[in-house]
Chain A
């Protein structure tokens, strides 16, 4: 990144005072039959401008709950969350979310309108909203599908529309809650590559929740590893200097993450597309 020397990227690499998202001693949970279950016991980490921060952890560790708290859907019972210096409580388009579910698109709106409508809601003129929507649909290679209705799209296309919709809002941080979790392996790999390209083109800050080590390695700049519930941050792993999948460090890193998550091999093979076979 050439422009890094002048602007945001420098601060991103530097002190934590410029964090876009600051999660500080956050405790989170949910009520089941009058009993409070702690999902996240104590989480502290920062997301820096322009980085792709992955949150990974075993099932039930509260990683999705954490993302929902940053989005403003759930209030933490302890600690604080600040986005761009603001203590956020209400959901808002500055923290656009891409959900896992395919039915997150409005079925009664065309692909174009699904992307343009949130912009209209946030005060853009009809013309300018449509222009932006077209732009972001081009970015996600969905131009030809603009006039279709969501039920006429495949799962992968629906998720791309959701990504285009979230990006068009030009969020401070793009929150992604296992957006590729319900896709088949091949489509998932394709979308991961596409997401990398899109993020590079738009320099958006991303926080991405997944339970897949492979996904974390492919997408992440850094990875927050959460323990079992009630969880805390075990380690924040830096992947920025990591080589491609063919390198030795990559395999080591995979092994390291696997050890952190204490995933046994069989489980890992269930959720990955044969991680050792792709080269």
Chain B
């Protein structure tokens, strides 16, 4: 092997040029700063009516105060808690449905029918009915979120199962896996790239649904969520509060996107099932 000379230095990775050379977080930070600067520039140059438009500084201060005193922290926590519960229920139900659909032909047809009927339905559309059934309570919101998350996840998991590598399924049978283990140990990990995508979609659907529900709903129990917080701020004409609520939602979106990214890097990217 003439080419495998140990004394030859490792080749250098060609240096990327300019922008692409910077680490991701630096690029993100710069772009974020530019966005804030654009916002500030609009306020400074166009002088929008301060009753209708908040500056970045006012918004930041509102968020700071809101978290220091709890007036924003509480609704954020309320919303997140209900959202986590709702998506959790959605994931569980979707898992049961897809397992049933994988094990029986009837279940397969039933799931296909249910997803085609219920997936196109916007989550909030069932809110009036949920209010009728469950009253103005957290249960109603949970019901609506679960309904909004079950179907995208069910679709993703079914697609993942159906496109699972048949050689691996054969290997599973060959080494003597039971049908249940075939699902948990072969199909589920094989479908993981789809599952993660499905949960991401469900999470986004859930966010939209819960904020919309809270706007309609107002207070569930003693605590209102972020949607209530924003709507309440409008009632009192507290524009910077409305901005603060929106920015918190956006920040949480970025946080969860990052968490999902980390999950993917530790699993499907690490296993070569998805390129980063």
Evaluate contact between B165 and A103: CB separation under 8 angstroms: yes
Evaluate contact between B270 and A91: CB separation under 8 angstroms: no
Evaluate contact between B273 and A96: CB separation under 8 angstroms: no
Evaluate contact between A92 and B176: CB separation under 8 angstroms: yes
Evaluate contact between B171 and A107: CB separation under 8 angstroms: no
- Which chain B residues (186-200) contact chain A, with CB distance < 8 Å? 186, 189, 192
Asked if A118 CB lies within 8 Å of chain B CBs, one says: yes
Task: Tell me the complex Cα distance, A94–B180, Å.
Answer: 21
Asked if B7 CB lies within 8 Å of chain A CBs, one says: no
Asked if A104 CB lies within 8 Å of chain B CBs, one says: yes
Partner of B177, one of A103, A121, A151, A169: A121
Residue of A nearest to B181 (CB): A121
Evaluate contact between B171 and A99: CB separation under 8 angstroms: yes
Task: Tell me the complex Cα distance, A16–B175, Å.
Answer: 28
Evaluate contact between B272 and A97: CB separation under 8 angstroms: no
Given the known interface contacts A101-B167, A121-B181, A150-B272, the answer about A108 and B267 at a Cβ–Cβ threshold of 8 Å is yes
Task: Tell me the complex Cα distance, A96–B170, Å.
Answer: 11
Q: Report the minimal beta-carbon distance from A242 to chain B, rounded to whole angstroms.
A: 32
Evaluate contact between A103 and B168: CB separation under 8 angstroms: yes
Asked if B61 CB lies within 8 Å of chain A CBs, one says: no
Task: List residues of chain A with CB within 8 A of the CB of B176.
Answer: 91-93, 118, 121-122
Interface size of B by CB at 8 A reads: 20
What class of interface size applies to chain A in its complex with B? 20 to 34
Task: Tell me the complex Cα distance, A97–B171, Å.
Answer: 8
Partner of A91, one of B173, B185, B271: B173
Q: Report the minimal beta-carbon distance from A13 to chain B, rounded to whole angstroms.
A: 30
Q: Report the minimal beta-carbon distance from B180 to chain A, rounded to whole angstroms.
A: 12
Evaluate contact between B267 and A104: CB separation under 8 angstroms: no
Q: Report the minimal beta-carbon distance from A171 to chain B, rounded to whole angstroms.
A: 10
Evaluate contact between B186 and A106: CB separation under 8 angstroms: yes
Asked if A81 CB lies within 8 Å of chain B CBs, one says: no
Given the known interface contacts A108-B267, A149-B271, the answer about A97 and B174 at a Cβ–Cβ threshold of 8 Å is yes
Task: List residues of chain B with CB within 8 A of the CB of A108.
Answer: 189, 192, 267, 271, 273
Evaluate contact between B174 and A96: CB separation under 8 angstroms: yes
Residue of A nearest to B173 (CB): A91
- Which chain B residues (148-196) contact chain A, with CB distance < 8 Å? 165, 167-168, 170-171, 173-177, 181, 185-186, 189, 192
Given the known interface contacts A103-B168, A106-B186, the answer about A151 and B174 at a Cβ–Cβ threshold of 8 Å is no
Q: Report the minimal beta-carbon distance from A165 to chain B, rounded to whole angstroms.
A: 8
B interface list, Cβ under 8 A from A: 165, 167-168, 170-171, 173-177, 181, 185-186, 189, 192, 267, 270-273
List 26 A-B pairs, Cβ < 8 Å: A72-B173, A91-B173, A91-B174, A92-B174, A93-B175, A97-B170, A97-B174, A99-B170, A99-B171, A104-B167, A104-B168, A104-B170, A107-B271, A107-B272, A107-B273, A108-B189, A108-B192, A108-B271, A108-B273, A117-B185, A122-B176, A149-B271, A149-B272, A150-B272, A151-B271, A152-B272
A interface list, Cβ under 8 A from B: 71-73, 91-93, 95-97, 99, 101, 103-104, 106-108, 117-118, 121-122, 149-152, 169
